[in-house]
Chains A and B, each alone.
Chain A
Amino acid sequence: DTGVSQNPRHKITKRGQNVTFRCDPISEHNRLYWYRQTLGQGPEFLTYFQNEAQLEKSRLLSDRFSAERPKGSFSTLEIQRTEQGDSAMYLCASTVAIDGYTFGSGTRLTVV
């Protein structure tokens, strides 16, 4: 296992289109997190899964955002009707205990 994998690395989309990102966590990690990072800022929490259950969603996650983690393995983050303000780096992280996250390399979204 080589760590947390995120795809795609980069995504350019037109405003109003839908996009979906995928995260494959470390296989034995039951906790999975999505964060968003804008230029010059630290990552901001979006949502958290323990196994397949989505246990918390940030107020940053508007109705246009949805995340799933079927069968407690990989996770997807979908953004519907993208807006220019959605342009950011979307980071996925996983962990198994209170021990610090392992982050993926992120998906950079550019909405034009």
Chain B
Amino acid sequence: GDSVTQMEGPVTLSEEAFLTINCTYTATGYPSLFWYVQYPGEGLQLLLKATKADDKGSNKGFEATYRKETTSFHLEKGSVQVSDSAVYFCALSDHAGGYQKVTFGTGTKLQVIP
């Protein structure tokens, strides 16, 4: 079945450092790919998405490119802030069956220190 593998955390960075969180996926079809973010005590929020190969999703300075050849969707940000501290989930949606069931990775905790 579908699965998502993302790098284990926690990831600790200094403010203004470059961020990469790796994500690879396995899917039988042609999924859409997502990054969700969960701040402490809150639910998940959609951060960005990409629906086809070579698409780049971007939001709030974060970017990720849908790489079909390497089945990857790595999250990057050029300069992190303390406010970016959260748990980041890579996810895919399988459109088989006509609905949008989403499979999540285990999450990567990011801690940004001043």
Contact = CB atoms under 8 A, between A and B. Distances in A.
A48 B107 contact: no
Nearest to B34: A100
A104 B100 contact: no
Chain B interface residue bracket vs A: 20 to 34
B43 A45 contact: no
A91 B99 contact: no
Given A56-B101, A100-B34, A91 B106 contact: no
Contact of B43 (A33, A41, A98, A104): A104
Contacts of B34: 100
Interface of B: 4, 32, 34, 36, 42-46, 49, 51, 89, 91, 93, 95, 97, 99-107
Contacts, number: 57
Given A42-B106, A105-B43, A106-B43, A100 B101 contact: no
Given A40-B107, A42-B106, A42-B107, A31 B99 contact: yes
15 contacts: A6-B43, A42-B105, A42-B106, A44-B104, A55-B99, A91-B44, A95-B100, A98-B95, A100-B49, A101-B102, A102-B46, A103-B43, A103-B44, A105-B42, A105-B43
A100 B43 contact: no
Contacts of B51: 98
